[in-house]
Amino acid sequence: MYDKIHFIHGGKFISRGKWKHPERTIDNTEIIIVTKGTVHIALDEREYTLTPGDVLRISPGVHHGGTRISDNNVSFYWLHLSGAEDGELPPVYLRPENIAQAELIARQLLHYATTEGYPQECVDYLIRLLIIELNAEDLRAGASNHRLFSAVKEWVRINCDLPIKVADVARQFNYNEDYLNRVFKMFYPDGLKAYIDAMKMQRIKNDLINESMSLVDIAARYSFGDYKYFLKYFKYHEGISPTKYRQAFYNLHTNNK
């Protein structure tokens, strides 16, 4: 396994001021490891916002290019390779917990690739080691992402009465907003915002059925400062007004024994 992977060429890109990734399609695999700034890039129709610590794999034949200009200085390792078989490469997007190890391997690889006296076998060994390291990080990230998803889901559940947004959750867990949403979508494809709305609606509907509170009080309980907006919000998500929803579930059998 991995023995057919070969390093082609690579380097470390450092922008000078504003920069946008050019559009191109390549015939080999490229690994990008971002070390500074923000890279806005799309692979075919999928857009990514990469920040330091993010790793992106670009497959052969995939059209890619910048989606907007990066205002801050950008730097990243770019490494081209060939010969990888199915299942050997890391996922398209990865954020390793220990990015320093991958960066060290990339730096060593580029040192040997540009220094006379080192054979091709040396850089081939290092690109394979980098792929192995990224795959190991992906396995660790899977468990870590599941823990993060569970923690975020529980925090949203107990705080959905507040006017929380995705940015608030990201700050709570000290993660980049775009990255956190991507992790959440691994387990909940509709995304974090949709989950926040779903939890809020679940709580509101439960109160409409089981509580005798007025609609104004329910709106206040869930931090809707504008009552009319609460009515519009409910109808948008449920398709009917909160009054009609409450009236639809009035005929119940009750007992106390």
Q: Is 201 exposed, middle or buried (0-12, 13-18, 19+ CB in 10 A)?
A: middle
Q: Kindly list the structural domains of the chain, giving each domain's residue range(s) and its CATH number in brackets, ordered by start.
A: 6-140 (2.60.120.280), 160-257 (1.10.10.60)
Residues 5 and 71: their CA atoms lie apart, in Å, by: 36
**pLDDT tens, the chain, 257 aa long:** 899 999 999 999 999 889 999 999 999 999 999 999 999 999 998 999 999 989 999 999 999 999 999 988 899 999 999 999 888 999 999 888 778 889 999 999 999 999 999 999 999 999 999 999 999 887 776 666 788 888 998 999 899 999 999 999 999 999 888 888 888 888 888 899 999 999 999 889 878 877 788 999 999 999 999 999 999 999 999 899 999 888 875 544 344 44
